[in-house]
Amino acid sequence: MRVNPTLKVTVNHRDRVILFPQNRVWRTYPGGKVLDELAHKPVPEDSHFPEDWIGSVTQASNPGREYIEEGISNVRIGDDVEAFNELLARDPEYFLGKKHLQKFGAKPQLLVKLLDSAIRLHFQCHPTAQFAQHRMDQPSGKAEAYYILAIREEVKDPYVYIGFQNPPEKEQLKQWIENQDLASIEGCFDKIPVQPGDALFIPGGFPHAIGEGILMVEIMEPSDLAVRFEFEKAGFTLPESARFMGRGLEFCLEVFDYSKTSLEDIRQRYFFPPQLIREYPDNAGAQFHLLGRETTPCMQVRKSVISGPVSKKEDQCFIGIVTKGEAILEAGSDKRTLKTFDKFFYPAECDGMQMTPVGDLEIPECYPPKA
């Protein structure tokens, strides 16, 4: 769904339920059959639209498709639809909060996705914020967090690759990339098993790849900067412009963290069991901390597990995704029924929302960095 850029929507947005329709974005790898099912397509299939970008004010970087505007999310308020960045610009302090606005401007400083992989993704690496700012004149790097939702039935041993367990020398890696010696590149990694409910973090500079058949929420810094050092997947060959951020291999070799990171290190430092933040009144559930400043200044991730009516009030904006159950969501006099995998935006200065679950409800909450 695209919004006519000349259409100016002026619907009252305060104390309203703000929903995100699907925002499918083209990628170099196939997937998205589960997202097709969620969109009730008559013939769900994997394609080059494996991601749903949520709460995005980030333009996708797809060399060869520059003529297509994709990546910016729309929002639905009642029966009206408009671009998310235009909505934020109309009342940024209400949506994002005064402190956030002063530090980051009228943008959420966050990008959230639903990602549905049909194959193992390309080996890739993203710059840290410091590298992006100092070496590329870009405002953000691309640290990432994953919250694993489901595994395709045919995948028996789901995994991800994170960091080098068997690190190469820089010149060695350069030769392997130039020759596309994938056996040697893959030998730098050990498979890290994952399962639904896992929450994990991938720092900037860590080479990585997501395994096949994984449905996840991906929370990241708001950029699309990527060093893709595996050139061909599923019959599609990356053009040179999509490999090295337009900077060349020598430059991109500086992005990598070449330190040795064992499986034990990954599990201890970058996997996060839920930690209780608060219990909701009347035994209605609880909110848990998954990721925050103790690991990264770039984002925060929490999860609410709700079994009864909850009056929810937060001091920051967040993007919520219903990953289990259904709920009636009320803001002011506005009321909407949310089904599994519906997505909504909680403004920083709203008067709170009432959540009434239909069955047990789980909502990962994706927060921007603390201002």
The C-alpha atoms of residue 204 and residue 270 are separated, in whole angstroms, by 13
Q: Which tokens belong to 164?
A: 């080098």
Domain ranges (residues) in the chain = 18-270, 275-367
CATH class for domain 18-270? mainly beta
Which CA distances in Å does 321 have to 37, 106, 238, 339? 17, 22, 32, 10
The 10s digit of each residue's pLDDT in 90-137 is 999 999 999 999 999 999 999 999 999 999 999 999 999 999 999 999
The C-alpha atoms of residue 111 and residue 25 are separated, in whole angstroms, by 13
User: In the chain, what percentage of residues exceed pLDDT 90?
Assistant: 91
The 10s digit of each residue's pLDDT in 172-226 is 999 999 999 999 999 999 999 999 999 999 999 999 999 999 999 999 999 999 9
Domains 18-270 and 275-367 alike in fold? yes
Q: What is the pTM of this model?
A: 0.94
Which CA distances in Å does 271 have to 27, 268, 342? 27, 6, 26
Q: What are the φ/ψ torsions at residue 103 (nearest 5 degrees)?
A: -90, -40
Superfamily of domain 275-367: Jelly Rolls (2.60.120.10)
